[in-house]
Copies of this chain bind each other. A is one copy, B any other.
Amino acid sequence: MINDKLPKIWYGGDYNPEQWDAEVWAEDDRLFKLAGIDVATINVFSWAMIQPDEETYDFSSLDETMDRLYRNGTYICLATATGAHPAWMARQYPEVTRVDVKGRKRKFGGRHNSNPNSAVYRKFSARLAGKLAERYKDHPALVAWHVSNEYGGYDYSEQSETAFREWLKVRYGTLDALNRAWNTRFWGHTFYDWEEIVVPSELSEEWNGSRTSFQGISLDYRRFMSHSLLECYRLEYDAIREHSKDVPITTNLMGFYPELDYFEWAKYMDVVSWDNYPSLDTPVSFTAMTHDLMRGLKSGQPFMLMEQTPSQQNWQAYNSLKRPGVMRLWSYQAVARGADTVLFFQLRRSVGACEKYHGAVIEHAGHEYTRVFRECAELGRELQLLGGELLDARSAAKVAILFDWENRWALNLSSGPTVALNYVDEVHKYYDALFAQHIEVDMVGALEDLTKYEIVIAPVLYMVKPGFAARAEAFVQAGGTFVTTFFSGIVDENDLVTLGGYPGRLRRLLGVWAEEIDALLPGMSNQIVMERDWKKLSGSYECGILCDLIHTEGAETLARYGSDFYRGMPALTVNRFGGGKAYYIASSPNADFLQGFFGNLCADKNIAPLVKAPQGLEAARRIKNGTPYLFLLNHTDGELAAEIGSAGMTDLLSGREVSGTAAIPAKGVMILKG
């Protein structure tokens, strides 16, 4: 439980009373009550208000807000307000603003605007966090700490350049080791002095966002920037913890945000929290996968849904309304996949600046007579009725999909073989094939304990980090099923190729050698042709993007390419390794193939679907003290039926007993217990 002060699914969201006059606050209190809101995240962007100059701290307004909310029965997730520094600080200490990747020194403006390696910023931000903790550590409303906000953005200032050199000294020890890791003999980039190293920006090694001359330095800079921002977070964390000993501390993450290695971050978070902003056309399975990833950051520990919009966003190209029922449906989707909170950005819509067209529980109309408010209030009531029953419930997936930020950076920075390969989209293909069949999946990091799973899937595991191959081998040896794909096993943690033959460190496990890798031009495709019928798989399936030209070295060939000069070469292989199997998919297959393939694998392992139901119905399960809770979510506009077996179960939301076939109405939700 995040905090046992409030033993239910928290409901509420971001709240910025400092943007409003006092008469509005009373109305807020009334409407929060009406909507069943019990948690407000406050103080997210109040640095300038609390600290109007270098020496002055004024907590009076915050005191008042906290007391008022408490009186009204609203608990508080208290932010440290360091998501954007005050204007006076940028003027007085220009070093707190960033230098961007184009090499431009920035002036005051925006958010995500602080130089993470500015000593001034670090000092002031940690000091503020400490003061807040000291002051409010015992406030009865306090239930969680929220450090800064949506950390992100890279900096290329001289402070970061200096810190980068220090970080490199720690990582590599000697310039020789660094020169080797970056292969600086290429293009004669050998460094003879640490001072010769400059940040990899558009002024040096990079261009077009992800193009670089040297993958080594660019990869390390991503690590370093993720680390620098994490240091800022940790400085605040420590400053809070000095005073506030047991209130959980988090910062809100952003799903598949590319710039930070969230697995590394999660180590230092008491609870993961994240902001979920799908569009009207985001696949439902993509959102599901992202929830699962957030849950996976701390190996299955429930997380906080820190932000979602009650209806509309403002920063997308086309900001559609959430259709009736969709806010509730997507809220339960979060809960189904591990969220123990349902929080919004934001409780009241702002009157000016760039987020004023972002939806809120209280819209600009200002009253409760809106569709959005009504839907929020209905959900609020429902969550009150649900109480704490679901809190801390866990998943019990036997299938894991590996996702790794360093692998993503390396793939993205790679010059060749194709620009068509998008790691996240590729991972999503595999996830979607399991999602469509109602099979539970955990999204896990490269350091996760694999022995919990029957099947581990590592799509495009381009970078194989130290120790992983041995762990994968042990997993298969012990009976596990391992799946990886084309363009895997290529490089080590420094993006240096593992010589001797692809897939390098995974070669022994997979029993194949990939001699060449063909990149297909747009419009080109090949086929995966099954050697023989294999349960759900038979005949031919389209594939593309890349085609590895592989030779088996012990593995069995299950399918071959259907065309081009490598027609007849293996396209799908399996290697028996100890008690388990290791599969290699040599090209990027279509959805039909992947559904059949994973259907077969799950059948082999007796991993059953959660439910028998058509696509469009999402199934997920949480288990607590041995009791399973089966979530059925209907994302379509018509009623759908799911076969749930003859044993009767209770729908937590309606209180009704259900057995046999459950009919879930359009946009409807069931939570079947037992």
Query: Which residues of chain A have a CB within 8 Å of any CB of chain B?
Result: 16, 18-19, 45-49, 52-53, 81, 83-88, 90-91, 102-111, 181-193, 195-205, 212-216, 280-281, 311-321, 323-324, 349-358, 363-366, 370-372, 414-420, 494-497, 499-502, 513, 515-522, 549, 565
Q: Once the chains are docked, how many angstroms separate the CA of A578 from the CA of B370?
A: 30
Whether A318 and B87, one on each chain, are in contact in the complex, defined by CB atoms closer than 8 angstroms, is no
| Set of chain B residues within 8 Å of A48, measured between Cβ atoms | 184, 188-190, 192
Judged by DSSP, the binding face of A is loop
Closest to A516 in B: B321
- Return A83 CB to nearest CB of chain B, in Å: 8
Chain B nearest CB from A15 CB (Å) reads: 13
Q: A496-B351, A513-B365, A519-B320 are in contact. Are A415 and B371 (CB under 8 A)?
A: no
Q: A198-B108, A497-B356 are in contact. Are A46 and B87 (CB under 8 A)?
A: no
**Cβ–Cβ < 8 Å partners of A549 in chain B:** 321, 371
A352 to chain B: closest CB distance in Å? 3
- Give Cα distance in the complex from A104 to B182, angstroms: 26
CB neighbours of A312 from chain B (8 A): 416-417, 516-517, 519
Q: Which residue of B lies closest to A311 (CB)?
A: B516
CB distance from A167 to the nearest CB of B (A): 18
A415 surroundings in chain B (CB, below 8 A): 314-315, 354-355, 357
Which residue from chain B places its CB closest to the CB of A420 in the assembled complex?
Answer: B318
* Given contacts A19-B185, A188-B86, A320-B518, A203 and B416 within 8 Å (CB-CB): no
The 4 lowest CB-CB distance pairs between A and B, nearest first, are A183-B352, A109-B204, A314-B416, A357-B416
Given that A355-B415, A371-B515, A416-B319 are contacting pairs, would A91 and B196 also be in contact in the complex, using a CB cutoff of 8 Å? yes
Q: A109-B203, A312-B517 are in contact. List 17 more A-B contacts (CB 8 A).
A: A19-B183, A19-B185, A86-B190, A183-B350, A183-B356, A186-B354, A187-B353, A215-B354, A281-B521, A311-B516, A314-B417, A323-B565, A324-B565, A352-B495, A356-B497, A364-B500, A364-B501
Closest to A156 in B: B107
16 interchain pairs, CB-CB under 8 A: A84-B187, A86-B190, A109-B214, A110-B213, A213-B354, A281-B521, A312-B519, A318-B417, A318-B420, A318-B522, A321-B549, A323-B565, A352-B497, A357-B414, A364-B502, A365-B499
Whole-angstrom distance from the CB of A460 to the nearest CB of chain B?
15
A520 with B318: CB separation less than 8 A: yes
Closest B residue to A359 using CB positions: B516
CB-CB under 8 A from A108, the residues of chain B are 196, 198, 204
Assess whether A353 is in contact with B497, with CB atoms less than 8 Å apart. no
Bound-state CA distance A603–B482 (Å) is: 68
Which B residues are CB-close (under 8 A) to A110? 187, 204-205, 213
Smallest CB separation, A268 vs chain B (Å):
25
Q: A351-B497, A354-B214, A418-B318 are in contact. Are A106 and B182 (CB under 8 A)?
A: no
**Chain B neighbourhood of A184, CB < 8 A:** 48, 353
Chain B residues contacting A516 (CB-CB under 8 Å) are 311-312, 321, 363, 370-372
B49 x A190 contact (CB < 8 A) = yes
A297 CB to nearest B CB, Å: 27
Contact in complex: B521, A280 (CB < 8 Å): yes
A188 and B49 contact, CB distance less than 8 A = yes
In the complex the two chains form, is A183's CB within 8 Å of B419's CB? no
CA distance A366 to B372 in the complex (A): 64
Question: Smallest CB-CB separation from A109: which chain B residue?
Answer: B204
Least distance between A645 CB and chain B CB atoms (Å): 34
Residues of B within 8 A of A202 (CB): 104
Contact of A183 among B192, B353, B371, B515 (CB under 8 A): B353
Verify A318–B186 contact, CB threshold 8 A: no
Q: How far is the CB of A146 from chain B (nearest CB, A)?
A: 15
B521 and A318 contacting across the interface, CB-CB below 8 Å: yes
Given A90-B196, A183-B353, residue A204 in contact with residue B107 (CB < 8 A): yes
Give every chain B residue within 8 A of A349 (Cβ-Cβ).
Answer: 497
Residue in contact with A192 in the complex, picked from B53, B192, B318, CB distance below 8 Å: B53
A499 to B515, CA, bound (A): 63
Verify A205–B109 contact, CB threshold 8 A.
Answer: yes
Q: Is the CB of B216 within 8 A of A353?
A: yes
Chain B residues with CB under 8 A of A192? 48, 52-53, 87-88
